[in-house]
Amino acid sequence: MAAITNSSTDYSFLNKTKAEDKAKNDVGQLGLDDFMSLMTTQLQNQDPLKPMDNNQMLAQIASFAQVTGIADLQSSFSNFASSMQSNQALQGSSLVGKTVLFPSSVGYMTAADGMKGQVNVAEKVTDMKVTVYDEAGKKVRTIEMGTASGFTPFTWDGLDENGEALPEGAYQFKASGTVDGTNTAFATGIEARVSSVSISSDDGLYLNIEGIGSVAFKEVVEIT
């Protein structure tokens, strides 16, 4: 009888162990699902102009990988990546028709809207000006801006120095001014309307700008 009692006890112990293991697996799976859900929600609600740092994301994933199965993590991360791409497409579609500001020396002038841009200078500049060139490299207009500092917007109405309307198209802009008696060049930002968006599996979201081409969303400084 003692042998039967011991055998019964052994089976009870094994059954209890299996139940505990199953519970642990269930908890682990729940944790993995929760992790992916939280990560997706975090990315969906992030500021588009201040996205989560890649190193921060990888650190969170690596930390979680220590407490879950790699195979399960790979499977869930694949689903997570698909969700991310769908979220990017949704974010991108909301930008169509919006005006964005991005670093560029080339802008597309239209008869209806002319051309707008911005010069960012870290110090006080005198005799600031923006010179406009056509596609052949010919100077067609100089926009005098006087004294400037910080973010300084400029507008070109599409007219040349003689007040004649120029054809719509791509034009180059070069900003310069005097700093402590030295003529200095400055980078320009261009405002343009988003005509469509595209998604690259490697590089993320791109905005397609009429007359200019594709601009990486991460380069955008401002959306209006």
> 134 with 167, same domain?
yes
> 77 with 125, same domain?
no
Confidence of residue 76 (pLDDT cuts 50, 70, 90): low
Q: Please give the sequence-ordered ranges of beta strands (E in DSSP) within 134-212, or none if there are none.
A: 139-156, 169-179, 182-186, 188-200, 204-209
Tokens 């490697």 found at = 202
Using the predicted structure, report yes or no on whether residue 80 has a pLDDT greater than 60. no
DSSP state of 46: S
> 150 with 203, same domain?
yes
> 9 with 53, same domain?
yes
> 78 with 118, same domain?
no
**Most confident residue range from 46-50, 112-116, 147-151:** 112-116
Average confidence (pLDDT) over 60-67: 60
Cα 13 to Cα 5, 10, 18, 169: the distances in Å are 12, 5, 9, 80
Using the predicted structure, report yes or no on whether residue 95 has a pLDDT greater than 50. yes
**Least confident among 26-30, 47-51, 215-219:** 26-30
Q: Residue 200: what pLDDT?
A: 75
> 84 with 107, same domain?
no
Residues 52, 205: Cα–Cα separation, whole Å: 15
Between 55 and 159, name the one with better pLDDT: 159
Using the predicted structure, report yes or no on whether residue 4 has a pLDDT greater than 60. no
> 108 with 204, same domain?
yes
Tokens 């220590």 found at = 66
Domain count for the chain: 2
> 45 with 103, same domain?
no
End residue of a domain, out of 93, 114, 135: 93
Confidence of residue 26 (pLDDT cuts 50, 70, 90): very low
Between 79 and 95, name the one with better pLDDT: 95
End residue of a domain, out of 93, 125, 160: 93
> 115 with 203, same domain?
yes
**Domain, as residue range, for 35:** 2-93
Average confidence (pLDDT) over 211-223: 90
Using the predicted structure, report yes or no on whether residue 5 has a pLDDT greater than 50. no
> 59 with 122, same domain?
no
Tell me what the pLDDT averaged over the chain comes to.
77
> 50 with 146, same domain?
no
Q: Is the pTM of this model over 0.95?
A: no
Q: Which residues pair with 185 in a beta bridge?
A: 176
Using the predicted structure, report yes or no on whether residue 70 has a pLDDT greater than 70. no
End residue of a domain, out of 76, 93, 110: 93
> 112 with 215, same domain?
yes
